[in-house]
Structure 1
Amino acid sequence: MNTRLLSIALALAVPAAPLAAQAGQTPASPVPETAMLDDPCAGRPADLYDPAADWAWLCRYHAANLALAGQSIDTVFLGDSITEGWGYADPGMFAPGTVNRGISGQTSPQLVLRFMADVVGLHPRVVHLMIGTNDIAGNTGATSPQAFKDNIRAMADLAAANGIMMVLGSVPPSDRMTWQPALRPARQIAELNAWLKAFAAERGLVYADYYGALAGAGGELPDRYGPDGVHPNAAGYAVMRPVALAAVAEAAARAAGPGWQR
């Protein structure tokens, strides 16, 4: 198995037994024979997040993805609340053919699990991936820069294996997080962005430098671009939009070039 396929296999691996059994505890009840369903999202409201039943929130866009079957998709934007919020602040950015698949609060391992359903299954030419804020915040538990990098590598491998060109968006600037008041994330964000830029160059991906367009002198998100210090407002997204459009156009041109296989 080559290293790219191995990274995909490792990233997508999930425990074979319930967590209680792994810890040496006796599960409260055996897993029913119907636990593996043809459509586990049937009857589940798309706006209801149940971390115990659907940790990656695969059901969030399940019905929306089915509704796009057979349609031509140019670009999928995959990410967290900064991507999701873009659709509300600047809906014109997501004209037909451009799909928003952001989910507030998510981290890179959740995106790895959603990547097949919310990106590959839509057969886009380009995927725009922007994630990292909530990894730094530890939203889904303690993690490490190496785990983040491994998840980005896994998604890049999945995109390449399916003929999808990737835009890697930088982690937007922030020097504070209201839900983690003790955290000072500016240094970590700058370090992850340096790695993302180098990784994009190494893999022939396109890097979208939102950090450079938005950051203040101390690595903060200025109030004029996002009063909470993390999430862009309309003015922030207005700065981001030309960066995104240029990056997506470059990625589409590369995907149409010689030697690129779809």
Structure 2
Amino acid sequence: MRSCILFFLLLITAGSLSAQNVDTDSLKNKPKKENFADDWAALTKYQQENAALLPPKRKEKRVVFLGSSIFEFWKQKDPKYFNNGRYLDRGISGQISPQLLIRFRQDVINLKPKVVIILAGSNDIAGNTGHVTLEKIMDNIKSMAELAKLHHIKVILCKYLPVYQYPWNKSVPAAEQIMALNELIVAYAKQKHFTVLDYWTPLVDERNGQRAELTVDGVHPNVDGYKIMETVTDAAIKKALKSRN
């Protein structure tokens, strides 16, 4: 009788241990959810839009606009410009160039565009996250351009819009820094035979800031400013699509 009881207890113990092992194994194999609590580059902002986006059709000439508030506010102020189904706005207000670089695979490469328009550097200059050198900004722009070329995406690099003074950081010599950055961007684009999109020239005033009638705050364009940008953007896209690079 005693031996039967011992045998029964051993069976129960073995079964319990087996169940624990199964539970442990299932927990190990269970896929972990990504934690975006510290989503520095705001990867979640366009995740749903990207997931809902169908692959481009065979002859579709998809274009991604990668930048910060200039691009994000553009779609808000003139949504019709982006209603053609080909232009994808992936601007996020306040972002600096390393954040754009982090987003580049998700918000550009994976969308399989024919062209990417890269507008970067102003928030870096403004000191949104501390001091950043022009050389570091260019390193990030170059990395994005090289990634695009590797994936057969035509590159358009933008001369940044003129800014005389940042309202939130008046100590920065904005006009001087943006002009210097634009020179570096143009030189690099010429070296690599990338298309240059000049937003600076049609918007600039005598102080090397934005023309008062075309801006809301000296940094961001109003609707009239965006209309001018649309004209030069469309021309640059046509040029890029015809280029060999």
TM-score, normalising length: structure 1 = 0.77
Q: Look up the match of 1:92.
A: 80
Q: Look up the match of 2:49.
A: 64
Q: CA 1:209–1:165 in 2, change beyond 3 Å: closer, same or farther?
A: same
How many Å separate the matches in 2 of 1:75 and 1:227? Answer: 26
Give % identity. Answer: 38
How many Å separate the matches in 1 of 2:237 and 2:136? Answer: 26
1:185 aligns with 2:170: no
> Which structure 2 residues correspond to residues 220-231 of structure 1 after superposition, within 5 A?
220-231=209-220
2:68 alignment partner AA: D
Task: Select the structure of larger CA radius of gyration.
Answer: 2
How many Å separate the matches in 1 of 2:32 and 2:180? Answer: 42
How many Å separate the matches in 2 of 1:196 and 1:246? Answer: 19
How many Å separate the matches in 2 of 1:77 and 1:228? Answer: 22
**CA shift at 1:37, angstroms?**
4.2
**CA shift at 1:238, angstroms?**
1.1
How many Å separate the matches in 2 of 1:220 and 1:88? Answer: 23
> Which structure 2 residues correspond to residues 137-156 of structure 1 after superposition, within 5 A?
137-156=126-145
Q: CA 1:128–1:62 in 2, change beyond 3 Å: closer, same or farther?
A: same
> Which structure 2 residues correspond to residues 228-239 of structure 1 after superposition, within 5 A?
228-239=217-228
Total equivalences in the alignment: 213
Q: CA 1:204–1:216 in 2, change beyond 3 Å: closer, same or farther?
A: same
1:202-242 superposed Cα distances (whole Å, 9 cap, x missing partner): 11110011101101111111210103100000011111111
Q: Look up the match of 1:79.
A: 67
Q: Look up the match of 1:159.
A: 148
1:252 aligns with 2:241: yes
Secondary structure at 1:105 match in 2:
coil
Unmatched segments (≥5 aa) in structure 2: 1-27
**CA shift at 1:131, angstroms?**
1.3
**CA shift at 1:142, angstroms?**
2.0
1:133 aligns with 2:122: yes
Higher share in helix: 2
Q: CA 1:99–1:37 in 2, change beyond 3 Å: closer, same or farther?
A: farther
1:243 aligns with 2:207: no
What is the Cα-based RMSD across aligned positions, in Å?
Answer: 1.8
**CA shift at 1:69, angstroms?**
3.5
